[in-house]
A and B are shown apart, each in its own frame.
Chain A
Amino acid sequence: MHEWALAEAVISTVSQIVEKEGLKEVAEVEIKVGELQQIERDILEFALSQLKTLKLKNVKFHIKTVKAELKCRVCGHKWIFRKEKMNEEIAEAIHFVPEIAHTYIKCPKCGSPDFEILKGRGIWLESVRGLR
């Protein structure tokens, strides 16, 4: 239920935006979820629905999954993270702290742990739409 903590973070940030922008009601929230963190979408959706505040009562959450693309800083090789290739314990460690990928994942071409996460790291609030 680590997804619950992330859902709380989303609701808290949306509420701060609502306050700042003076919105009366939020209609749509677009969230991007990176595959590296392997967030359980069902749990995230359930937590979001449970944590909704009054101004979010009619909100639609659009959750988009983004593939995790990694690029080696040494040889320049780019590749896509695949959970299926990992053992469960390592996948879970990366789920909690995606940067742990640098501990266990190496560039498939040159073996370096010095890679960049180009996209698909964790959770990101893409847009918040509502009525003023």
Chain B
Amino acid sequence: MADPRIGIIEERLKGVNNVIAVSSGKGGVGKSLIASTLALTLARRDYKVGLFDLDFTSPSTHVILGVEGLQPKEEKGIIPPQVHGLKYMSIVYYSGEYASPLRGADVSNALIELLAITRWNNLDFLIIDMPPGISDATLDIIRLVKRIKFLMATTPSRLAFETVRKLIDLLSELGIPIMGVVENMKMKESQFIQQQIEGRGIKFWGEIPFDHELEEAIGDVNKLLATQFGKKLGEIEKLKV
């Protein structure tokens, strides 16, 4: 007759002022690094921030944040542990170091379960690290979180933008707010992405140069925020909310 979990999701998120999905459609553009760094940057500006890794089959934000040996508390649901000033939730608390081979319907079910039982309480921002693809997780987050806003990430590559463009067009058609687009891993001067974005009436949030030092900062949030990538993301004017 009814899946009772669906009815409680809005209630679980009612104390969250902004729910932001960091998305792309394409893999490998830096979504997880942007989502993690954005969450850390906002937390250091004294906002209450949550980070939810929704990439169930290939989670990586725990590696970026250097999270090890943590478990959520169980208290009338689950309470995400505090990590570097963030409330942090990921499927790795349960899957550990093993692969989670999930089909689409399983991804949907796991997503609904975690949205229904996780108690975020009061947050200024809940940042969601979306998986690549325009598939179950994207469709479910649009269906289940009515207040969702998207922050899109792309690289300068036309190969990445081909999918990013499709997701932007789909979201626009559905009337889902797109806060803006970040162009990541910029290697040479080009206006192509900016023109494409602004031509669609979407805000271009800025570009982040390819950072050769970034890999060294993975697992150390202070190093991460001090990289050119971290600084550049922090400087984006639109972030100064």
Contact = CB atoms under 8 A, between A and B. Distances in A.
A2 B78 contact: yes
Contacts of A14: 4
B198 interface: no
Interface stretch (B105-113, B142-150, B157-165, B209-217): B105-113
Interface string A101-132: 01110000000011000000111111110000
Interface range on chain A (Cβ under 8 Å from partner): 20 to 34
Interface string A26-70: 000000000000000000000000000000000000000000000
Interface string B84-112: 00000001001110111111001101100
B7 A12 contact: yes
B7 A100 contact: no
Nearest to A124: B3
Contacts of B77: 1-2, 4-5, 8
Contacts of A126: 1
A96 B101 contact: no
Given A4-B77, A5-B77, A9-B116, A100 B94 contact: yes
Interface of B: 1-8, 11, 56, 74-78, 91, 94-96, 98-103, 106-107, 109-110, 113-114, 116-117, 119
A47 B102 CA distance: 31
A1 B113 contact: no
Contacts of B116: 5-6, 9
A8 to B, nearest CB: 6
Contacts of A16: 7
Nearest to B109: A99
Contacts of B94: 93, 96-97, 100, 103
Nearest to A121: B109
